[in-house]
Structure 1
Amino acid sequence: MALPLRTAAIQQFNVGAPIIALDDIVTSYDADHRRTIAGLIATMFGGSQILITTHDERFFNFLKDQLEAWHFTRIIGLDVFRERLAS
């Protein structure tokens, strides 16, 4: 129930600053629901700046499939993050 409430609050209160941060939002959902959630994000928040963190490789791929225009970065370890910041 938390995810629908969160997405409704984002639509209601983030109108002036369409920046959204979602952290591991699919940990309690099965694969079918994760695919649906990826589609929901693509449909509802396509015009927003979104930062999504996830440990779920399948969800990451669902998002990439449905949101081709978005920029995706996979951070495997802290060293990779430091290298990207340095460049």
Structure 2
Amino acid sequence: MTEDTGWRWCQEVTVAFLNSSGTAVRSGSVTCGTHIVGALGVDWGTVESTVPLPVPLAPGARKRPAWTVCVDARRVPLGMRTGTREVSADGD
């Protein structure tokens, strides 16, 4: 889920995690693919950012953390916006 922050170059991104394995997750990372979108909906590029996975995550546990994901403000001129569309996680 994404929400505006008031800055066209940032979004609040909330991701739900469920550890469906039988072992705890102790480390890992979350990668967000944030698209730079023009006024007419044209996708001008994607910027990846990585944050630590919210660990530890016990077997069967759920977490729903939120991050403010931003790209360099000069990459998002007036009339453009960001849209985080891809999120992937890698845990150990």
Please give the range of the TM-score, normalised by the shorter of the 2 chains. Answer: under 0.3
Which structure exhibits the higher relative contact order, with contacts defined as CA atoms closer than 8 Å and separated by 6 or more residues? 2
Higher strand share: 2
Higher helix share: 1
TM-score normalised according to structure 1 size: 0.23
Bigger radius of gyration, 1 or 2?
Answer: 2
